[in-house]
Structures are given as C-alpha cells and as structure tokens.
Amino acid sequence: MIAYIKGTVEEILEDRIILEAQNMGYNIFMPMASVDSVLYAGKEAKIYTYLNVREDAMQLFGFLTRDDLNTFKLLLSVNGIGPKAALGILSGLSADELRFAVLADDVKTISKAPGIGKKTAQKLILELKDKLDLQEAFQLKSQHVQEADSDLADLSDMRKEAVEALAALGYSGADALRAVKKVELTADMNVEALLKAALKNMF
C-alpha cells in the first residue's frame, strides 16, 4: 500500500522514528541498529515501508534499503515469525549476514539476534534455505561493498583520513563512514577535530 515515505526525521525513539512528510508525522518501527548509525533529527530520509494490519492496530515498519525490506518480508514468510521478531533479527544481523548464515546453516549466528533462540533459528534456516541463492547472496554483498566504496570516494581527503583513523581503532568501515558523514564540517575544522566529533557518533 505504501512503498516508501520521504520526509524529515523529527524524533528518534527507543524502537521507532517519527518521520514528518507533508505535515503528517508517521510512527515507523525500524531496526534501531541501522537507525542509530545513519539517521538523526532533522535529516531528510527515504524510508521503505511495510504496513502491518491487525484487528486492533495498523503499524508501519520501515527500512533504509529495499533489500532490508525484502529480507523483512522473507522473514515474515517463516511460520511463527511476526513483524516484531523479524525486526529484532534485522536489528542484530544485516541482510547480508542473515543470508550467509542461513546458507551456511549457522544456527549460532542467527540465535544471537534478540528474541531468537536455537530452535527458532533452526526453523528459520529450514524454511528459508530453499528460497535463497548463494550466487545472488554474493552479488548483493558485492553490490553493497561497491556502494560503500562509492560513498568513500565522494568524501573529502579530511573525511577519508578520519574514516581510516576510526577503522584503525577497530571500528568497522561502514560504522566509521556513517559517523564521519554525520559531522558537519566547519571552516576551522581539522582532522583531529573531525575525528573527535565522529567518535561521539559511534556511541
């Protein structure tokens, strides 16, 4: 019904964001691990959505990428996994990590997701393995790596240096990139100041 919503992030709450679009505020439940590293109040965002209709409520679930939305729908196809459980899985694992875990019969990795025990992880693998293709999983992973490299290529030299410094400190490249991109550069800012500001975005 609603493919996506473009708007301004008004507020980030514990389990959802409020996105204002055309003078309406939408409550959108999202995987907060991805939200914390990318979104902030005042940011313009395009959120891919899934409308869950129940007898007593209508809920919007949102994702930063179409791939995450499609993975969410795939999880809903597993008997016994509802929207909140699917969201919990995508809060603990990226779509790429989930695909490879399913294809590798990696119960341990999947059961680390919030609210997912060993039995549920085994069931999820059993029901999803035939719906996933290893070659496609590698293609999607490669595409996501290229997108991240493209983002890095668009950065200024100072931002690149800050990303490299964060990576050297042990942070993942993706987290470092997101943290640095959040910082608004000023005329008097040097690499050290940028790095300090970016570090605040890592928590």
Question: Residue 104 in contact with residue 67, Cβ under 8 Å?
Answer: no
Above 90 in pLDDT, residue 75?
yes
The pLDDT confidence band at residue 43, using thresholds 50, 70 and 90, is confident
Measure CA of the first residue to CA of the last residue in the chain; give whole Å.
35
Q: What is the pLDDT of residues 143-171, one digit of tens each?
A: 776 766 565 555 677 887 888 888 888 88
Structure tokens at 31: 């995987």
Please compute the mean of the pLDDT values over residues 134-142 and round it to a whole number.
80
Task: For residue 59, give Cα distances in angstroms to 50, 67, 81, 83, 154.
Answer: 8, 20, 16, 9, 36
The fraction of the chain above a pLDDT of 70, given in percent, is 93
Q: What is the pLDDT of residues 172-191, one digit of tens each?
A: 777 788 788 788 777 778 88
Assess if residue 118 is contained within a domain.
yes
Question: Residue 131 in contact with residue 74, Cβ under 8 Å?
Answer: yes
pTM: 0.71
Assess if residue 142 is contained within a domain.
no
Q: Which CATH number covers residue 126? A: 1.10.150.20
**Residue where one domain finishes, among candidates 19, 40, 63:** 63
**Residue where one domain finishes, among candidates 63, 82, 111:** 63
Domain that holds residue 92: 66-137
Domain count of the chain? Answer: 3
The pLDDT confidence band at residue 137, using thresholds 50, 70 and 90, is confident
Which pLDDT score, from 0 to 100, does residue 166 have?
86
* Residues 10 and 42 placed together within one structural domain of the fold: yes
